[in-house]
Structure 1
Amino acid sequence: MTSRVWWLLAAGGVAICGVLGWSVYLSRATPAVRVQAPHMVRTRPMKPAFTEVELQTFLQEARQAEAIADPLQRCLAYPEPPGVNWSKDVTAAYCHYGLDPAINGKDARELIEHGRVHELEERLADIKRAQFSEPGAQNKLDRTYNIVFADGSDGARALLDAWKRQSPDNPYALAASGSAYVAMAQRQRGSGYAKDTPQASFEAMHRLIELGRDDLDRAAALDPQMTPAYNAMLMAAGLDSDGAYAADAAKRALKVDPASYPVYARLAWMSQPKWGGTVPQMQRVIDQAQQHASQNPMLRLLLSERSGGEEYVENCACDPFAEAEMYRHVFAEAAPTRMLMRAGWAAQERRNIALSAIYRSELLRFDPSELDQRQSRAFLLIELGQTEWGLAEGNTLVKLAPREEDSYDVRGQAYRALGDAAHAAEDFEQALRLNPTDTWTLSALGDLYVNVTHEWDKGWVIANRLLQQSPDEPLGWILRATIQKSQPRDGLDETIRQFTERYGNDPTKQPVLQQLQAMKSP
């Protein structure tokens, strides 16, 4: 189930020393060090990050905001997380950056399809002028390209080719085409580990990057202020591990736009230790960006990465108080979606359900397209007692993604929490039809049959499927023994004997063995 597991977003690193070696911005590289977590030296009393009342108020206000149909207005109306003080100017700028293109995709498509590309180019030129001259318009052209043209679909490719045929030497057309090629390359690369990615995918990625770089280089040569071209160059450099190309693109971009959020965000991402960088390198990039935060408040988003970025929040050996301290320290200001995504996953792994729900809610505020994050959060809402909201989310997810088993699992879990076993079973059964080997769904359905509806024959079938598919997991054994004890059905002693022979010497299985032995008749 994609919403209940984590897939590493390994888009490919670059040679960070090459990217960040310009003396004008960074001093000599220092050895990598691990920044001490705030919980390791306690300077404040241990206390929860927020009260239960504050949590429930946040969830109530988040649900009210999510009822707003317009994505931008929903984002602007969203509550800030409890227990911290996010700046409204930062969150408002980030809402506009992700959700407010200065020209929408439908209008751009119609202008290209009707042969009116010069009108499109004039509108984009006006947007660029505003980006460089009007207060509050920082990154206006960048965000428009990121939302409208950085599309890796075949349909977008055909549309942009039509634009280039009509206007082959126009920098706006070339920047859009190059951005789309890089998005296609990223799609070819996928999100898996390099060892799990077919060589053919890498070859296709490299071909697309070359096509993209040709267009992007031409766009920047024709118009050195074409900032979306530099942003796409940095993405291409990251995919292709080309540090020299990244360094050149970054220097050219910051020369024309010293307060560029997309450039600094990409440089901070590239500086992470996982891509060969160091925490001090990240800090120097972020500190340099803060010198321009008065011109572009979104640069304050990067403060959340000063302690080490995604790896820092993922690898915290946190108890609940340390988790709360990290939340107050790392997320004192709004954070980029990639940080919110990793923090949401990590908090759930550490069983901090409330924090995970907050991180994922704020992620969905800024990027409502993250369907798997919405599915994951829906399970958390049910655990937090927001069962009616969980059911409403389940109904919505079934409409949005009717071919994904997670959608039915969410709704089934909500029905189960509401005591509606019949509808819960229907949804779990539909999820299994979509993915017959999903262990979570098998477990949920088996538990329902055995412990709620007492449909012993159906439960027996599920228990046997679990034992055949995942014999090392305890639930299949427990379901089988429970049926044998409660129906009753012959074979309880044999089930306990088989489990003991397999796992009697495994210390991790002793609690399960004790539970099974307790089922024996006196």
Structure 2
Amino acid sequence: MTSWKGWLRLAGVSLLATLAGCSQPIAQTPRQQAAPASEVVRLTDAKANLFVRLQHAPITKPAYSTDEIRQFVTAARAAESIEDPLQRCLAYPDPPHSHWSHDAVVAYCRYRLQPMISTTEINALIRNGQTAELDNRLAAALHAQLTQPEAHGLLDAIYLQDFHYDAASERPLLDAWKRASPKSAFAYAASGYAYAEMAQDARGEDYTEKTAPANLQSMSSLLALAENDLQQALALEPRLTPAYVAWIDGANIGRTRDFVENIGERGLAAAPADYAINSDLMFARQPIWGGSPQAMEQLASQAQAHAMENPLLKLLPTEASFYEASDCHCDPKIQLANYHEIFDQLPTTAIMWRAGDLASDNGHPEMVVVYLSETLRFLPYNPLAIRAQANRSFSLTYLGYPQWALAEADKVVATDPQFDAGFRARALAYEALQDYPHAIEALRRAVALDPSSSWQLLELGNIYGYKTREWDKAWEISSQITQKFPNEANGWVLRAMIQVAEPRAGLKDTYDEFNARFGNDPDHQTALSEMREALKQQAGPGGLNSTRLKLPPH
């Protein structure tokens, strides 16, 4: 007898794939049986060594047990109900069996969520001729950064938020600020910061030998303007840490390695406990820029001498290990094993997000939920946070939390009704809740938003074929998939299921097409074998003796 849980149940596919910048399951699975606690991958105990040593074995078991995920989800959802963003972050659970520094967590919550002057406010002050007021507010932020433990990195965060993005469009206002306040260190630093960003935009992301000479010339001209403004800013106020940050960033793409290190040394001499200076110099020491993991570790070790003063520096030891793990050119499951080790200590949100997406791509929803929940803990207002929310929603459904998954998907849809991943996440949650009409509605909306993706069509076929038994609709969907996405194996599987279960003629043709396209693929041998078994049960040409076959359960 044919085993319908094998090849005919689209919902039995457990792969996770990245779609539109948001990792999502190819199809819903029955609720996964979690491994017992003894089979859960455990982090090493609190490390005597400051740095993670890379593993060479892939992760093969769940990173967290069912009980650990249940406890984490319960605590995370309770924390996310807190309205105040800082208190929400502080109340959030750390990953199961991790050893995150409490002081570092508190500092990172404050760093990411502290209130600060916005780009809109800054632009309004400049336009209204209130540059003296702007200078006073930035001076107060610098004073707070230097004197108040709860304000570590405040001015650095202001400059990153307000002068790093849309630098070219802000140029006229920054020039107006310099003209209105010719002795303002803050104006020169902002101008230099923006010039450095414009230089990076001009250069692009390709290797130097693949970058047009005109782009490199534009970069050099902009870097010269940046350096001139940044030097003037530091001459007026040597403690102005964002000026060092921008100078390191600019020098890293247009100057020698020694020059970058010289600027870094100057910055650390002025502010040895500044997280942004240390972090940018750490980036500049990556091997891709001519540095090395050893140089990165040296900087992280050096910074720990000031970690009591600024606990944000405790994030730095994860950077070298993360770079090596990300650049290992190895099995993604080996990367995941290393990311899991790195998570023993508090990493940056960039690491959290990268790890969550990789976990999604490689079938570890328990890691997705933990890693992306921690990402959202520290970055709730990031413009791209809805991608992490949608991704987490899929994994919450997969792990058996469809109610929370649906609530998260609804937030994504409300934030951006044109983001198709929100509707896909909503559909999957509704399907898990057996609310098929709403699942179908969400999937059709996803199809309209992104007709280039096969995922939503497959899930529609999944519902029509396996849930509501609307064979004509399921057949129509399977025809669309096989015509539009002929190399999508599950489209042919859906077609074969309908031909067996309804039944409908043509299984031999479907088998031949499937065999021609996927016969040499080891991942599809079970499907081929079970199609052959179904063909043997045919009563005659074009017909099947369906009394011997079991339909998938409702």
Check whether TM > 0.5: yes
1:174 alignment partner in structure 2: 188
Larger Rg: 2
Contact 2:252-2:289 at 8 Å conserved across structures: no
2:20 alignment partner in structure 1: 2
1:142 equivalent to 2:160? Answer no
1:252 alignment partner in structure 2: 266
1:358 equivalent to 2:370? Answer yes
Contact 1:72-1:96 at 8 Å conserved across structures: yes
Which has the larger displacement, 180-189 or 249-258?
180-189
Cα distance, 1:383 vs structure 2 = 1.1
Contact 1:49-1:83 at 8 Å conserved across structures: no
For residues 373-384 of structure 1, the aligned pairs below 5 Å read 373-384=388-399
Query: For the residues of structure 1 that align with 2:423 and 2:212, how far apart are their CA atoms?
Result: 32
For residues 463-474 of structure 1, the aligned pairs below 5 Å read 463-474=478-489
Cα distance, 1:86 vs structure 2 = 1.7
Matched residue SS, 1:81: coil
1:85 alignment partner in structure 2: 99
1:37 alignment partner in structure 2: 54
Contact 2:111-2:152 at 8 Å conserved across structures: no
For residues 107-146 of structure 1, the aligned pairs below 5 Å read 107-146=121-160
Cα distance, 1:103 vs structure 2 = 3.5
Aligned partner letter, 1:120: L
1:414 alignment partner in structure 2: 429
Cα distance, 1:219 vs structure 2 = 1.9
For residues 181-192 of structure 1, the aligned pairs below 5 Å read 181-184=195-198
Aligned partner letter, 1:124: L
Contact 1:478-1:516 at 8 Å conserved across structures: no
Match of 1:287 among 293, 301, 311: 301
Query: For the residues of structure 2 that align with 1:167 and 1:491, how far apart are their CA atoms?
Result: 79
1:515 equivalent to 2:514? Answer no
Gaps (5+ residues) in structure 1? 7-33
For residues 230-245 of structure 1, the aligned pairs below 5 Å read 230-240=244-254, 243-245=257-259
Cα distance, 1:365 vs structure 2 = 1.1
* CA pair 116-47 structure 1, distance change in 2 beyond 3 A: same
Gaps (5+ residues) in structure 2? 1-18, 25-50, 539-554
Query: For the residues of structure 1 that align with 2:133 and 2:351, how far apart are their CA atoms?
Result: 38
Match of 1:103 among 95, 117, 137: 117
Query: For the residues of structure 1 that align with 2:182 and 2:159, how far apart are their CA atoms?
Result: 18
Percent identity for Structure 1 against Structure 2: 38
Query: For the residues of structure 2 that align with 1:477 and 1:198, how far apart are their CA atoms?
Result: 46
TM-score if structure 2 supplies the norm length? 0.78
Question: May I ask how many residue pairs the two structures share in their alignment?
Answer: 489
1:371 alignment partner in structure 2: 386
Contact 1:85-1:332 at 8 Å conserved across structures: yes
Contact 2:55-2:337 at 8 Å conserved across structures: no
What do residues 163-184 of structure 1 show as CA deviations (whole Å, max 9, x unaligned)? Answer: 2332244220121233234445
1:29 alignment partner in structure 2: none
Cα distance, 1:203 vs structure 2 = 7.5
1:216 equivalent to 2:202? Answer no
Aligned partner letter, 1:37: L
1:71 alignment partner in structure 2: 85
Query: For the residues of structure 2 that align with 1:446 and 1:198, how far apart are their CA atoms?
Result: 48
Query: For the residues of structure 2 that align with 1:447 and 1:270, how far apart are their CA atoms?
Result: 49
Contact 2:191-2:229 at 8 Å conserved across structures: yes
What do residues 245-299 of structure 1 show as CA deviations (whole Å, max 9, x unaligned)? Answer: 4223212211100112112222223333444433222211211111211111111
Query: For the residues of structure 1 that align with 2:514 and 2:212, how far apart are their CA atoms?
Result: 40
* CA pair 205-342 structure 1, distance change in 2 beyond 3 A: farther
TM-score if structure 1 supplies the norm length? 0.83
Aligned partner letter, 1:279: P
1:488 equivalent to 2:503? Answer yes
1:11 alignment partner in structure 2: none
Match of 1:444 among 451, 456, 459: 459
Aligned partner letter, 2:342: V
Query: For the residues of structure 1 that align with 2:130 and 2:264, how far apart are their CA atoms?
Result: 33
Query: For the residues of structure 2 that align with 1:266 and 1:51, how far apart are their CA atoms?
Result: 37
Cα distance, 1:409 vs structure 2 = 0.8
Aligned partner letter, 1:344: G
Query: For the residues of structure 1 that align with 2:196 and 2:216, how far apart are their CA atoms?
Result: 13
Alignment root-mean-square deviation, CA = 3.4
Match of 1:228 among 242, 251, 257: 242
1:387 equivalent to 2:405? Answer no
Which has the larger displacement, 186-195 or 285-294?
186-195
* CA pair 144-333 structure 1, distance change in 2 beyond 3 A: same
Contact 1:272-1:308 at 8 Å conserved across structures: no
Cα distance, 1:202 vs structure 2 = 7.3
Contact 1:188-1:201 at 8 Å conserved across structures: yes
